[in-house]
Amino acid sequence: MTQEEKISPPRHIAIIMDGNGRWAKNRGLPRTAGHAAGAEAFRKIANYCRELGVEYLTVYAFSTENWKRSQEEVSGIMRLLGLYLKEALRDMRKNRVRFCFFGDLTKLSPKLQKLCLQAQEESADYDVQVNFCLNYGGRQELVQAAQRFAADVQQGLVQPQELTEDMLSSYLYSKDVPDPELIIRPSGEKRTSNFLLWQSAYSEYVFMNVLWPDFSPEHLDEAIEEYHRRNRRFGGV
Ligand code: IPE
Ligand code: IPE
Ligand code: MG
């Protein structure tokens, strides 16, 4: 299929980048090797999304629950993130990716926090917006939104009964980002694992039997085609 023949992608695609550990295990490699291969798959898919004209790509990179893993695995993931961000800062002009971060970054090392901030600031004018979910949990996102709303009430800025769905959305990390039309989970698991709980109310889920490091542009095409076959009713008929 040529680029022109491809059906138009949704504006916002979200991906749960899962299956790195199994990919490594299948090859007799340490789990960190799977995460390195997963980072490679992400580079390819982010570029492909830009080519397709996707406006927002939200990726689940590290959840609030992933701290339960061994210290070795967690530090391996953090090291890879640091390397990736340094590389992204170097190649910023070429890739034209605009970085945003969803999650509680205060739990990351000061060095990594600085890289996140720098990537966000230096890429503010670029095209495809990549929302990197780091130490992200859908429940944690709602808790921090409730805390910030309560603080605004306490300061007399707003009344509790004035809270609307749009107002609540504005307290989320995804403020100003439209809800994802399509959420893809590779790896064969069929659950959300605390991803975008609020924003996914009417998203179409596509679950795929491929491990994230093996995920290719063809898999993304397949998911987009599947999305176009769905009949979205939003509660209507
Ligand atoms: C996803 O791959 C990456 C992270 C959660 C950080 P996994 O590491 O969960 O891979 P599996 O599910 O064990 O195969
Ligand atoms: C979800 O995958 C989180 C990320 C991909 C970052 P997990 O591997 O952590 O999810 P579970 O444990 O299978 O639900
Ligand atoms: Mg997993």
At 51-78, the pLDDT tens digits run 999 999 999 999 999 999 999 999 999 9
**Residue 154 maps to a domain:** no
Asked if residue 76 has its Cβ within 6 Å of ligand 1, the reply is: no
**Residue 56 maps to a domain:** yes
**Residue 79 maps to a domain:** yes
pLDDT at 123: 95
Question: In one letter, which amino acid is 113?
Answer: Q
pLDDT at 221: 97
pLDDT of residue 215 exceeding 70, the answer is yes
At 30-44, the pLDDT tens digits run 999 999 999 999 999
pLDDT at 127: 85
**Residue 174 maps to a domain:** no
Strands 12-16 and 97-102: unpaired
Tell me the whole-structure pTM to 2 decimals: 0.97
Distance CA 210, CA 223 (A): 12
**Residue 169 maps to a domain:** no
pLDDT of residue 5 exceeding 80, the answer is no
Q: Note down the domain range covering 223.
A: 8-137+180-228
**Residue 89 maps to a domain:** yes
**Residue 224 maps to a domain:** yes
Two structure tokens written together for 31: 């789990």
pLDDT at 158: 98
pLDDT of residue 220 exceeding 90, the answer is yes
Q: What is the mean pLDDT of the chain?
A: 96
- Span 71-86, mean pLDDT? 98
Residue from 22, 64, 190, 209 whose mutation best tests the ligand 1 pocket (most atoms within 8 A of CB): 22
Looking up residue 99, the CATH number of its domain turns out to be 3.40.1180.10
Distance CA 48, CA 218 (A): 10
Q: Which residues line ligand 2 (CB under 6 A)?
A: 16-18, 60-63, 65-66, 189, 191, 193
**Residue 2 maps to a domain:** no
- Span 190-201, mean pLDDT? 98
Total domain count, the chain:
1
At 103-159, the pLDDT tens digits run 999 999 999 999 999 999 999 999 899 999 999 999 999 999 999 999 999 999 999
Q: Which residue has the least CA distance to atom 14 on ligand 2?
A: 193
pLDDT at 3: 57
* Cβ contacts of 58 within 8 Å, gap of 6 or more: 12, 13, 14, 15, 102, 130, 131, 133, 174, 177, 180, 196
